[in-house]
Amino acid sequence: MMRHWLTPALWLLVLVAGCLGLPALEPWLQPLVDGRQAVIYPRDSFVTLLLNHLQLVAISAAAATLVALGGGIAVTRPWGRDFLPMASQLASIGQTVPPVAVLALAVPVMGFGDGPTFVALALYGLLPILRNTLAGLQGIDPAVREAATGMGMSSSQVLLRVELPLAGRVILAGIRTSVTINIATAAIGSTIGAQTLGDPVIAGLVNGNTAYVLQGAVLIGLLAVTVDSLFEALEQQWLKRTPGLSG
């Protein structure tokens, strides 16, 4: 029955298996490195790196969603409409700044570590969500909003029962984009001292150890695919609950 949850479950299984099982692949990875180097990334376990990576992305995504959703709703209310052009511009300009630049800018302000990475991720992740919140809310047929108001719904009833359910799918797609981008960006956070799955990649690049790079890259890729398919399943679930929108 819940067939759309099957794919993310399978990917999650592969991801966990990868984290726990990579060390067992040592003999096969041996040819990638010269004799004196270690084959498996030794400093932290992959599980620790994965959990820290996830935590960083999850907290920053939660913060970004709260701020972007709140902001998007605010600028589409009658009292906040003056700021709508500014918010739309910000959302589109923000997309042209590469994530690495955001990380680099965070360092002089906050130093190294998880902190600046978190701030950079939250700021960067805000923009796709804001853009989609605006698109979702503005894409609602004006007649629907007029009817809702004209029939006597209060403004909060219109927002919660009509606007958000109708815009929800587009907003969810924005969160999906934001999180997927930030899984990759968080890995680059390793360059400024965050502890993530990017660590083996950076260490491998610095020391010329291709096996490290491969281990990090494979796990980051698996994580991105798992989370993305999770969102896909969420969207399917959303569609199932609101069949009127699928046409």
Partner 1 sequence: MIELTNVSRRFGEVTAVDRISLTVETGETCVLVGSSGCGKSTTLRMINRLLPHSAGDIRVDGQDIREVDLQQLRLNMGYAIQGTGLFPHWTVARNIALVPQLQGWERARVEARVTELLDMLGLSPAEYADKYPAQLSGGQAQRVGVARALAADPNILLMDEPFGALDAITRENLQNEMLRIQRRLRKTTVFVTHDIDEALRLADRIAVMDQGRILQHDTPDAILRQPASAFVESLVGSQDRGLKLAALQSVAEVMQRHPQPRQAVPEKVSVGAQDSLRQALSVMLWQQLSELPVVDDQGLELGVLTRERLWRETA
Name the residues that contact partner 1, by CB under 8 A. 141, 143-154, 157, 162, 165-166, 242-245, 247
CA-wise closest residue to 213 among 227, 228, 203: 203
Q: Token match 């796709």: residue?
A: 128
Give least dist CB 68 to partner 1, A.
22
Residue closer to partner 1 by CB (options 63, 162) is 162
To the nearest 10°, report the CA torsion of 14, 201, 46, 101: -90
- Are 203 and 43 a contacting pair, CB within 8 Å? yes
- Backbone φ and ψ for 211, nearest 5 degrees, come out as -65, -40
Smallest distance, partner 1 to C-beta of residue 88, A: 24
Give DSSP secondary structure letters for 139-150. TS-HHHHHHHHH
Q: Which is nearer to partner 1, 170 or 201 (CB)?
A: 170
Min separation Cβ 246 and partner 1, Å: 8
In the complex, what is the shortest distance from the CB of residue 136 to partner 1, in angstroms, rounded to a whole number?
A: 13
Ramachandran bin of 112, using left for φ above 0, alpha for ψ from -120 to 50, beta for the remaining angles? beta
Distance CA 92, CA 94 (A): 5
Q: Which is nearer to partner 1, 35 or 243 (CB)?
A: 243
Question: Which residue's CB is nearer to partner 1, number 171 or number 201?
Answer: 171
Closest CB to partner 1 among 35 and 150? Answer: 150
Please report how close the Cβ of residue 71 comes to partner 1 at its closest, in angstroms.
24
